[in-house]
């Protein structure tokens, strides 16, 4: 099974600033995913990040607001740009194993925007 770590685990940021969240997987994976879990709600897929190609964004999410990098098969970053209090959420990184049998999740980054 894949082990996923995220940094930072939490942060408190000012409105208008940006935060980059890092995601590290302990094995090479083709597909990585970024989710958002707003308070009291379910997980919403932000985008799918494949190494060597542009991230694919879900409806309601755009690259200018949530730029994603995927420089290699074990690492990805998500930036939350020009933050507002509505961006306060838990951001989760996820990947599937080689056989796509299971999806693993990182511990999440709890973001609070003041």
Partner 1 sequence: AQSVSQHNHHVILSEAASLELGCNYSYGGTVNLFWYVQYPGQHLQLLLKYFSGDPLVKGIKGFEAEFIKSKFSFNLRKPSVQWSDTAEYFCAVRFGDDKIIFGKGTRLHILP
Using the rule CB under 8 A, which residue among 71, 82, 100, 112 binds partner 1? 100
d(CA 29, CA 1): 11
d(CA 69, CA 1): 23
Question: Judged by CB under 8 A, does residue 57 bind partner 1?
Answer: no
Question: Judged by CB under 8 A, does residue 105 bind partner 1?
Answer: yes
Q: Tell me which stretch binds partner 1 (CB under 8 A): 8-16, 31-39, 67-75, 79-87.
A: 31-39
Q: How far is residue 38 from each of residues 28, 54, 71, 91, measured CA to CA in Å?
A: 29, 25, 27, 9
Q: Tell me which stretch binds partner 1 (CB under 8 A): 8-16, 20-28, 43-51, 76-84.
A: 43-51
């Amino acid at each position: 099974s894949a082990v996923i770590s995220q940094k930072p685990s939490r942060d408190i940021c000012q409105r208008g600033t940006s935060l980059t969240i890092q995601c590290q997987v302990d094995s090479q994976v083709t597909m990585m995913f970024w989710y958002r879990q707003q308070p009291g709600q379910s997980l919403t897929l932000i985008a799918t990040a494949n190494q060597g190609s542009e991230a694919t964004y879900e409806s309601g999410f755009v690259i200018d607001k949530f730029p994603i990098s995927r420089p290699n098969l074990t690492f990805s970053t998500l930036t939350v740009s020009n933050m507002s209090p509505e961006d306060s959420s838990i951001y989760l990184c996820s990947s599937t194993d080689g056989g796509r049998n299971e999806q693993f999740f990182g511990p999440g980054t709890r973001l609070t925007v003041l």
